[in-house]
Chain A
Amino acid sequence: MTTTAELDTARAAATPSHAIASARGLTKVYGTGEAQVHALRGIDVDLARGELTAIMGPSGSGKSTLMHCLAGLDRPTSGTVLVDGLEVSSMSERRLTKLRRTRIGFIFQAFNLVPTLTAAENITLPLDIARRPVDKALYDEVVDAVSLRDRLSHKPAELSGGQQQRVACARALVARPSVIFADEPTGNLDSHASGEVLGFLRRSVDVLGQSVVMVTHDPRAASFAHRVLFLADGELVAELVSPTQSSVLATLAQLDGFAAKEK
């Protein structure tokens, strides 16, 4: 694991041009006066292109808030966010909407699919909205990769949880966005289905060159990533490259120790 000091050198080394998304001085404060909550305290981070980056932390650490700000779903109190060279933090709602069709893909923990559309229609949804043609070759590749060929005409109610998440992944990929943001994608799945989804996400990065940013609290999910960022109390406290499940657990334990010491 790397300490905070080593993080600074690493940060200097990772030049922004290799970053698919980056934040500078990202701060998010909720509420006013006594009830103020500092969700993010001046975070500087670069997320590498063509990599699966995991963001981990205990609840209340600000990991979901960080992802929301990076993805343009939330506006930071101060600081800037760049995605694929575009400044997302100051964009209008209209431009953000366009971005969501073409440059940014989402996978949520639950409720990923439109219940009234079939799996096939759900997969092509962002392209339908943007009125862009579907890349048939990519579509077929993705559908086969998630093993959903025989389920395409089914509605979400007729699919298992794992299948629904795979459809969500397919949807995120088929549009070929610059970056996919996934919020706890395996949170509701059993271990077998989790493994499928995570493996698929990693393969999409390795094989298709997709960039994926994943928020998770599950060490096993984090072990699939190229890099893991650790958040605590709104600050970036640690980083792990080429993680394994045990190294992730060790880092977490150490962070608990730090927290205990600081108290």
Chain B
Amino acid sequence: MGRIGIRAVTSHAGRFVMSVLAVALGVAFVTGTFALRHMLSSTFDEIVNAAATADAYVRTADGNPTDLTSTGAVGGGVPLSSLDAIRKVDGVRQANPDIQGPVTLVGADGAAVRSTQAPSFASPWFSNNTSYTHIEGRGPANASEVMLERHTLESSGLHIGDRTHLVVLGRATEVTVVGEADFSAPMAGATIVILDEATMRADFAPTGNVGSISVYAQPGVSQSDLVQRLKATAPAGSQVVTGDQLRQETRDTIAKQLGFISTFLLVFALLALFVGGFIIANTFTMAIRQRMREFALLRAVGASPTQVFGSIVVQAAVVGLAGSLIGVAGGFGLVEGIGALLRKMDMTLSSSVPLTWSTVVIGLLVGTVVSVAAAALPARRAAVVPPVEAMRDEVTVHERSLHRRAWVGAALIALGAAAVITAVVRPGADSAGMLLGVGAAGVIVGVLVVGPVVVPAVVRWLAVPAVAWWRPVGRLARGNVVRNPRRAASTAGALTIGMALVGASAVLAASTDASVRDIASTMLHADYVLQTQYPDTIAPEVVANVRALPGVGQVYALPAVEAKVTDASTTRTLSLDGLDPKIFDSVMTVETMTGPVAQVISDGGAVVDTKAAEANGWHIGDQLTVTTAGGEKRLTIGAMFHSSGLDIGVVVGQPVLDALVAPAQQTDSQVMVVAAPGADVAALRAPLTDVVKPYYVISVMDSKQFVNGIAGQVNQMLTILYALLGLSIVIAVLGIVNTLALSVIERTREIGLLRAVGLGRLQMAGTITTESVLIAVCGTVVGLVTGVALASALPRLFHDQGLQHLAIPAASLVGMLVLAVVVGVAAAVWPAIRAARLPVLDAVSQE
């Protein structure tokens, strides 16, 4: 029986091409996700191993792994004064403080050297450091000399001996490149600048505390041994861990974050595979229908239903395995390609794409299982065919009534809609989010289940123009689509899934865009905004220079530091923000205000976000202890406010903030500028630009550019979503091609008849094309309607998170419909040509 199954596949191999392709695409995506994760993980592992090379670390007691973008230690830290004692411990070869902070390097072209997503930071120069494998030139001796990591030097276009600028803590200093250092691992596009130790201490450890101290052991002393010896001399409030432990912790944190990303990608990959399952189900349903007599014959000569079922499942397994093999190869190839592309963009990742057996096996397994599962239902129908059917000329397949499906589908939609409506009516309830998610899933599944009833109705309606203008092609096409509701629903359904998500994404993006624009324009009324990219900062002297410009009325800086905030029960890491109390009268509009906010800030108290207070259980009058690297302070909550335009932690006045952290150490990424009354706003731009130019990292935006900039980020996210959904859509379109091609084979006699009574080749091709367009547009319409309807519930639920407007991008949706027509025509090209070219005689006299 297996032999019959395999022969059937090989002899009709052409029929399974699309199915194999669909499985290959889905499996490629799945494999690619895993391979990408492995590649990223091994890249970061290499970086961790290259950057953290010590045998032991003395660090702050609640040990957070070093964050490459933070300016120094948050809350306490290990005092540098303990270095001498540590160095004197028996078994210690050397000990170096771990100081780092964000800097921006200006390249040979006068622009900041920056890779998207990769950090840009400074590290201290130690002549005895074992992290560097190769050195050209020499290490920096003072604040005007720098050494660059090899890839950084390359991408900056600089050479040893060149002069350039370095922006540290918002100020640009002139420096000379004196050396080049090679780390033992590719640094994934990070920009690494090496400064001398004294400068690093002054800039990033001004209070004399650092996050940790790296300790290297004498040969013959093990890591745990070293840790034991160090414990005695370690300062109070610090912790000693082995190098291995620190590296493992860092790797674990990275692995968790990679896990989120790869899970996100995997969802889309599985979606693509699910859609591919539709194609396989369709293919097998049609293939089996055509061979019903053959199965009846097998049964008539004594094959059991299980054997017939088995032979079909074998076919499905072969198809799935073939597709999976191609898909696995494709997935790895894709990730190799991504790696090569990133290398070109100066983001070197791990040079090898790890070919793990687990990934290969998962890919093969997933593809094969999906194929077999998809073919199971049609296979069952073939297995139970009565042997007597072998004697008949035309085997009729008994179509079960669609009533049950209609009722089940309608019930699912009703229940799902009810869940969504409940969530919308009570958006504040804890379960609202989950209700919405489950309800949405229920609605989508319900729409797919009820498809065989809905799709023919929609198609009849969509076909009205075709039937009226193009006779008899329109009527023939409509009849062909509608005559097999299950197949039409299945083909269109694959597209419906993808388009529902696309529609929802479009609504979400448009609503977010509208909400963001609204918030930004109603809540912040500055004429100009000075902006840097995190973690760059705008130095206090810039603010002073801007204030001094003629035509400038008010200037509001928004400095912040990271601090540990302790209330009665818990300690959290929050942002400590400095606000000028006058900001509330002019630049910022708030939505809710409890208590005299401006007064409290002037008086030295603390103000918190209303929503955060609700979540943390804070009330006016509660005490908070705020700890930074520079000290500790006890504050009383005097008022609360909430503004969707501003994300705040604990707000204090500038004097309070300065007492806790020196102004030079504060991070300010936005400064609001309001023109003086009567001044020419447009004329202010030039002088503002002149003031910020020497600082390289600050851009000047008017209110419109500011709003557009934020909205632009939303569009970036949407593009990524579309790209991820794109694969599912492509597979669904392949499904349309597949259904059409197979139905042309199935309808060979009918096509012959039509040609015999005079239907021209062009008319024949037109019939197939019209069918394709009807299915494509139907799937798109149902999907978009469902997706848009479900996404409309989102603003109600996420109102407080900033999604306050519902915007339905009518133009985009219409564009998608037009695209559906184009796609329908394109999908039909090959099947239509085949149908038109069928020799009439062969078709007419076919047995």
What is the interface of chain A, defined by CB distance below 8 A to chain B? Answer: 64, 68, 73-74, 93-94, 97-102, 105-106, 108, 110-117, 121, 125-126, 128-131, 171
Question: Which single residue of chain B is at the shortest CB-CB distance from A116?
Answer: B479
Cβ–Cβ contact B753 & A131, under 8 A = no
Complex Cα gap A105–B757 (Å): 7
Tell which of B483, B844, B845 touches A115, judged by Cβ atoms closer than 8 Å: B483
Knowing A74-B841, A116-B482 are in contact, say whether A111-B758 is a contact too (CB < 8 A).
Answer: no
A197 to B471, CA, bound (A): 30
Contacts of B482 in A (CB 8 A): 116
| Cα(A100)–Cα(B753), bound, Å | 11
Residue B365 at the A interface, CB < 8 A? no
B475: chain A residues at CB < 8 Å are: 117, 121
Contact A73 B841 (CB under 8 A): yes
Among the 9-residue stretches B294-302, B511-519, B704-712, B759-767, the one with 4 or more Cβ atoms under 8 Å from chain A is B759-767
Whether B757 and A100, one on each chain, are in contact in the complex, defined by CB atoms closer than 8 angstroms, is yes
A133 to chain B, nearest CB (A): 12
Is B689 at the interface (CB under 8 A from chain A)? no
Contacts of B198 in A (CB 8 A): none
Chain B interfacial positions (CB closer than 8 Å to A): 393, 471-472, 475-476, 479-480, 482-483, 749-750, 753-761, 763, 840-841, 844-845
Q: Top 10 A-B pairs ranked by shortest CB distance?
A: A116-B479, A101-B758, A100-B758, A128-B472, A126-B757, A73-B841, A129-B758, A111-B749, A97-B760, A116-B483
| Neighbouring A residues of B757 by C-beta, 8 Å | 100-101, 105-106, 125-126, 129, 171
Q: Once the chains bind, are A129 and B483 in contact (CB under 8 Å)?
A: no
Q: Are A117 and B841 in contact (CB under 8 A)?
A: no
Asked if A129 and B841 make an inter-chain contact with CB atoms under 8 angstroms apart, the answer reads no
- Beta-carbon nearest neighbor of B764 in chain A: A97
Once the chains bind, are A116 and B758 in contact (CB under 8 Å)? no
- Residues of A near B472 (CB, < 8 A) are 121, 125, 128-129
Q: Which residues of B contact A108 (CB under 8 A)?
A: 753, 756, 844
Neighbouring A residues of B479 by C-beta, 8 Å: 114-117
Considering the complex, give the chain A residue whose CB is closest to the CB of B477.
A116
Q: Complex Cα distance A130/B471, Å?
A: 9
Partner of B476 from A73, A93, A116, A130 at Cβ < 8 Å: A116
A73 to B476, CA, bound (A): 23
B753 and A112 contacting across the interface, CB-CB below 8 Å: yes
Q: With both chains docked as a complex, state the minimum distance between the C-beta of B424 and any C-beta of chain A, in angstroms.
A: 43
Q: Which residue of A lies closest to B756 (CB)?
A: A106
Q: Are A131 and B750 in contact (CB under 8 A)?
A: no
Nearest residue in A to B481 (C-beta to C-beta)?
Answer: A116
CB <8 Å contact, B755 and A97: yes
Q: Shortest distance in angstroms between A62's beta carbon and chain B's nearest beta carbon?
A: 13
- List the B side residues contacting A128 at CB < 8 Å: 471-472
Decide if B755 touches A114 in the complex (CB within 8 Å).
no
Q: Does B749 contact A100, Cβ atoms closer than 8 Å?
A: no
Told that A97-B755, A108-B844, A113-B753 touch, could you supply 19 new A-B pairs with CB distance under 8 A? A68-B841, A97-B759, A98-B758, A100-B757, A106-B757, A112-B753, A115-B479, A115-B483, A115-B750, A116-B479, A116-B480, A117-B476, A121-B475, A125-B757, A126-B758, A128-B471, A129-B472, A129-B758, A129-B760
A129–B475 CA distance with the chains assembled, in angstroms: 11
A111 to B754, CA, bound (A): 11
Judging by beta carbons under 8 Å apart, are B844 and A73 in contact?
yes
**Chain A interface main SS type:** helix
- Given known A68-B841, A108-B844, A131-B471, contact A94–B480 (CB-CB < 8 A): no
Give the distance to chain A from B841, nearest Cβ to Cβ, in Å.
5
B750, B758, B763, B844: the one within 8 Å of A114 (CB): B750
CA distance A165 to B754 in the complex (A): 16
Could you tell me if A94 and B756 are in contact, using CB atoms closer than 8 angstroms? no
With CB as the reference atom, state the residue of chain A lying closest to B478: A116
Which residues of chain B are within 8 angstroms of A111 by Cβ–Cβ distance?
A: 749-750, 753
Q: How far is it, in angstroms, between the C-alpha of A131 and the C-alpha of B758 when the chains are bound? A: 11
- With a cutoff of 8 Å between Cβ atoms, the chain B residues found around residue A114 in the complex are 476, 479, 750, 753-754
With A and B bound together, what is the CA distance between A98 and B755 in angstroms?
10
Cβ-neighbour of B760 out of A94, A102, A117, A125 (below 8 A): A94
Q: Is the pair A130, B758 in contact by a Cβ cutoff of 8 Å?
A: yes
Can you identify 21 A-B contacts, CB atoms within 8 angstroms? A64-B845, A68-B845, A73-B840, A73-B844, A97-B755, A97-B758, A97-B760, A100-B755, A100-B756, A101-B757, A102-B758, A106-B756, A108-B753, A114-B479, A115-B479, A116-B482, A125-B472, A128-B471, A128-B472, A129-B472, A129-B759
Question: CB-CB < 8 A to A113: which residues of B?
Answer: 753
- In the assembled complex, the Cα of A140 lies from the Cα of B475 at a distance in Å of 23
B752 nearest CB neighbor, chain A only? A111
Q: Are A93 and B841 in contact (CB under 8 A)?
A: no
CB contacts (< 8 Å) of A98 on chain B: these are 758
User: Which residue of chain A has its CB nearest to the CB of B846?
Assistant: A111
Contacting residue for A93 out of B750, B754, B761, B844, CB 8 A:
B761
CA–CA, A121 to B757, complex, Å? 13
Q: What residues of chain B lie closer than 8 Å to A117, measured between beta carbons?
A: 475-476, 479
Output the least CB separation between A68 and chain B (Å): 6
Chain B residues contacting A106 (CB-CB under 8 Å) are 756-757
Among B472, B476, B761, B841, the one with the most A-chain Cβ atoms within 10 Å of its Cβ is: B472
Contact partners of B760 in chain A: CB under 8 A: 94, 97, 129
Closest residue of chain A to B759 (Cβ to Cβ) is: A129
Complex alpha-carbon distance, A111 and B759, angstroms: 16
Residue among B753, B754, B757 with the most chain A CB within 10 A? B757
- In the complex, A64 Cα to B749 Cα: how many Å? 17
CA distance A115 to B482 in the complex (A): 11
- Cα A102 to Cα B758 with chains together (Å): 8
Q: Which residues of A contact B758 (CB under 8 A)?
A: 97-102, 126, 129-130
Within the complex, the shortest CB–CB distance from A65 to chain B, in Å, comes to 10
Chain B residues closer than 8 Å to A110, beta-carbon distance: 393
Complex: A106 Cα to B761 Cα, angstroms: 18
Q: How far is the CB of A217 from chain B (nearest CB, A)?
A: 15
The answer for the CA separation of A117 and B478 in the assembled complex, in Å, is: 10
Whole-angstrom distance between the Cβ of B563 and the nearest chain A Cβ: 74
B483 — which chain A residues lie within 8 A by C-beta?
115-116
Asked whether A97 and B761 contact (CB < 8 A) given A68-B841, A116-B480, the answer is yes
Contact residues in B for A93 (Cβ distance below 8 Å) = 761
Report the bound CA distance from A130 to B758 in whole Å.
Answer: 8
Determine the chain A residues whose CB is within 8 A of the CB of B750 once the complex forms.
111, 114-115
CB neighbours of A74 from chain B (8 A): 841
- With the chains together, A129 CA to B756 CA distance in Å? 11
Contacts of B845 in A (CB 8 A): 64, 68
For the complex formed, measure the closest distance between the CB of B211 and the CB atoms of chain A, giving whole angstroms. Answer: 75
CA distance A56 to B480 in the complex (A): 37
Interface centre among B758, B759, B761, B845 (most CB of A within 10 A): B758
Contact A129 B763 (CB under 8 A): yes
Contacts of B476 in A (CB 8 A): 114, 116-117
B contact residues around A99 at 8 Å (CB): 758
Q: How far is the CB of B11 from chain A (nearest CB, A)?
A: 22
How many angstroms between the C-alpha atoms of A47 and B761 in the bound complex? 30
How far, in Å, is B767 (CB) from chain A's closest CB? 11
With the chains together, A113 CA to B749 CA distance in Å? 10
B706 CB → nearest A CB, Å? 60
Nearest CB in chain A: distance from B556 CB, A: 72
A126 / chain B contacts, CB cutoff of 8 Å? 757-758
Q: Which residues of A contact B761 (CB under 8 A)?
A: 93-94, 97
Question: In the complex, which residues of chain B have a beta carbon less than 8 angstroms from the beta carbon of A125?
Answer: 472, 754, 757
A163, B269: Cα distance in complex, Å: 53
Which residue of chain A is the closest to B840 with respect to CB atoms?
A73
Nearest chain A residue, comparing its CB with the CB of B758? A101
Asked if B471 and A73 sit within 8 Å, CB to CB, the answer is: no
Chain A proximity of B467: nearest CB distance (Å): 11
